[in-house]
A and B are shown apart, each in its own frame.
Chain A
Amino acid sequence: MKYLVTDDSKLARLSLIKSLKVTVGEAEIFQAENGLVAVETMKKENVDIVFLDLTMPVMDGYEALPKLLEHNKNAKVIVVSADIQEKARERVIALGAQLHMQKPINVEKMKELLELINNV
């Protein structure tokens, strides 16, 4: 299983990766600091699960989301954002995200969301 963690904040990426490693053990985890790098990583690595922030420089999550799915329609995209507005949730789900989660993702939340996407 390949994972891609996309966030402009190094803290957010490291913190999410820490929770991910505790939950799934050692895994192939890629990092991207914006949507454009995420799309390029997807083209090269064909990752299975993408954690995607929304507010990022260069290319934001809204723009990156359909491009990610264009390259791998089977990928599961989990939006992890501070933007918890209902309209933001509706928008990312309409764009193809599986889940919209509020930051930060601790180990408990990570377990919960991985269980949820396995049932989607």
Chain B
Amino acid sequence: MSDQPLLRVSNLKTYFPVKSGGLFRRSLGQVKAVDGVSFDVNAGETLGLVGESGCGKSTTGRSILRLIDPTSGRIELDGVDVTDLSKKELVPFRRTAQMIFQDPYNALNPRHTVGSIISGPFQVQKVDPPGGVRAAVQELMERVGLNPEHYNRYPSEFSGGQRQRIGIARAIALRPKLIVCDEPVSALDVSIQAQIVNLLKDLQEDFGVSYLFVAHDLSVVRQISQRVAVMYLGHIVELASREVLYTRPLHPYTHALLSAIPLPDPDRQKQREQITLNGDLPSPMNPPSGCVFHTRCFRAEDRCKVEIPELVEVAPGHVLACHFPMTEMVIGTRIEGPNSGLVEMPNRDIEAPSEVIADMAEEGRGGPVTADYVGDPDRD
């Protein structure tokens, strides 16, 4: 296998024009939904893409699959530049890259049977699977945990979780190398979410497929991803391996995001200190100058208002765009000085909320958790 990543996204920008509602549809400006995003996805890996609504994570996913045409930048999949492929040229590309949608109720045509939905990719791509289409579809149904005898049923006869399984069967029909999963479990009940996350993991083990896992639920992303990218207002602000991002993130926004999610454990939750961000996401039509996060950041200084922070690699595999990164760990113990093996911090006093999330390992129920919090950052 070559060293080349399966997917390479360089400086991707997707802008949407905003026009007035009047007769002449005057241009009012642009929404910079994705504004210069770069990352790689390796073969067989899952990259989580997280952020709040309006941060551009879904637009990024859709731009990569060319469901939305990017404004500029470069998308290379499996060594092929797909940025400027015509509609016709895109057809073979779809064999390599597929998508799983958020809403299993709207992603399936209610008038088509499950059999015809899952066999759709075979027809479009004019593929004749060995053993015939019906056998192939029924094998897929069995693989994703559906009863193959339900071949002739309609989507309305299935529950939400089962419909998501139908969508997954359709996505894996052509054995793609990359699947963009856009919030694949957020519409499902908790007990069903876990079933679907496990299924996606099993399929990855079996077929070596890569996932770009777009989601707002950081707990689910931690469970499934090897690396995680955090987006804010069209920019990636931090990208790191799962262990590093969840245990020693450096960007204030990542800290705030992690601390805002309540833990399903009352004792731990009571010990945590939360960083509450003020205000709402600024309008992507008129993003703040300098660092896009400075209007809500608790560490922002004058420099942040004017100077855009570059996305730089602060440690192997850990990229960050911040002038004043955090030094404390979110969960667990504090990182003391540059000996942590991470990054030398700007030499200044840090008045960040100490013990952002109080040291839970101190409590009796530390156990295996401690091992995870202070885990080897290179474990992934």
Task: Answer whether A and B are interacting partners.
Answer: no
Chain A interface (Cβ within 8 Å of chain B)? none
Chain B interface (Cβ within 8 Å of chain A)? none
